[in-house]
């Protein structure tokens, strides 16, 4: 009768399923953690679990490395998501990895949604940006791929051209450029390329400030100002219309303009008038 070598039952015992090499077997540790109240012993065990699963958190953070965010910042966010997963995990409801992966991934995505945009934009616009970004990358990587057009991206994604345009605009809203940055060209900073103050704004402000004072002028004074500054008449022609001397028109203009300027610059003038 053939004989069989003794079976090593321990070697044949089924091992817990692990999704990745960085998924350690911490079933016993989580069982202990669940039975501990807050205190030093629980803190030590929690730190041990965090260290054991940290490589998985870093792996998840690495999936987002091509989105323009600092890699170390992403690792920190993923580590925060890991700690939240450890604190909320119920060992009786399945494997920790199945719970931790979406928890950590969600934490990283929230970081992108809430913390990394230079301008605050609606979530729908953020989603359009991501779709457009991925589509544009895919189209460029195709053999002979050139810079994709709006129509090409729309055809690839199923979005409308208007939605694609919104997504492309949002790509420029993700990061702002410092005024001290040096744009391509002959040197200098971005601030040096910006326009200066527009004098037209000063004119508008002055007109608004003078409006009430002008409204309080006698009718003849308003007529003189209108002829001089809106009809562009000379003092001699104004004098001829009014039947007075040119010298008298000059004195009137000086007096009227001085009064209007003084009242426009004095915020108490309106209250005194009232």
For the chain of 274 residues, list the mean pLDDT of each consecutive stretch of 10: 43 43 80 88 92 92 78 90 92 89 89 63 76 85 80 89 85 63 64 69 76 85 90 92 92 90 71 47
* CATH (residue range 199-273): 1.10.10.10
Give the tens place of pLDDT for each residue, 161-180.
898 888 887 776 655 566 66
Q: What pLDDT does residue 73 have?
A: 86
Query: For the domain bounded by 22-114, which CATH number is listed?
Result: 1.10.1740.10
Q: Is the dihedral of CA 11, 15, 20, 24 positive or negative?
A: negative
Other Cβ atoms less than 10 A from the Cβ of 270: the count is: 12
- Give pLDDT, residue 13: 38
123-178: CATH architecture? Orthogonal Bundle (1.10)
Rg (CA), the chain: 37
User: How confident is the model at residue 12, as a pLDDT?
Assistant: 38
Tokens representing 139 are 């189209």
The pLDDT of residue 121: 63
What pLDDT, on the 0 to 100 scale, is given for residue 249? 92
Per-residue pLDDT at 59: 92
Q: Do domains 22-114 and 199-273 have the same CATH topology?
A: no
Helices (H), the chain: 9-12, 27-34, 40-62, 71-88, 96-114, 123-141, 150-157, 161-171, 199-215, 219-229, 235-242, 246-265, 269-273
Q: Where are the domains of the chain?
A: 22-114, 123-178, 199-273
Check if the beta carbon of residue 45 is closer than 8 Å to that of residue 26: no
């Amino acid at each position: 009768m053939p004989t069989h070598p003794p079976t090593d039952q321990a070697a044949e015992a089924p091992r817990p399923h692990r999704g990745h090499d960085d998924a350690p077997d911490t079933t016993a540790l989580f069982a202990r953690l669940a039975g501990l109240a807050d205190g030093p012993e629980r803190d030590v065990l929690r730190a041990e679990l965090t260290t054991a699963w940290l490589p998985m958190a870093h792996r998840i953070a690495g999936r987002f490395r091509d989105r323009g965010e600092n890699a170390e910042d992403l690792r920190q966010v993923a580590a925060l998501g890991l700690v939240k997963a450890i604190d909320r995990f119920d060992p009786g409801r399945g494997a920790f990895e199945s719970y931790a992966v979406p928890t950590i991934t969600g934490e990283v995505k929230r970081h992108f949604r809430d913390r990394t945009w230079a301008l605050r934009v609606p979530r729908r616009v953020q989603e359009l940006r991501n779709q457009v970004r991925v589509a544009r990358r895919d189209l460029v990587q195709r053999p002979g791929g050139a810079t994709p057009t709006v129509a090409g991206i729309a055809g690839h994604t199923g979005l409308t051209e208007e939605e694609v345009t919104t997504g492309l605009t949002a790509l420029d809203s993700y990061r702002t450029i410092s005024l001290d940055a040096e744009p391509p060209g002959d040197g200098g900073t971005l601030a040096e390329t910006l326009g200066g103050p527009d004098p037209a704004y000063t004119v508008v402000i002055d007109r608004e400030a003078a409006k009430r004072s002008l409204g309080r002028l006698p009718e003849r004074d308003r007529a003189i100002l209108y002829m001089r500054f809106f009809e562009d008449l000379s003092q001699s022609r104004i004098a001829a219309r009014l039947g007075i001397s040119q010298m008298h028109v000059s004195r009137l203009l000086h007096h009227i303009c001085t009064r209007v300027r003084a009242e426009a610059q004095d915020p108490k003038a309106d209250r005194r008038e009232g």
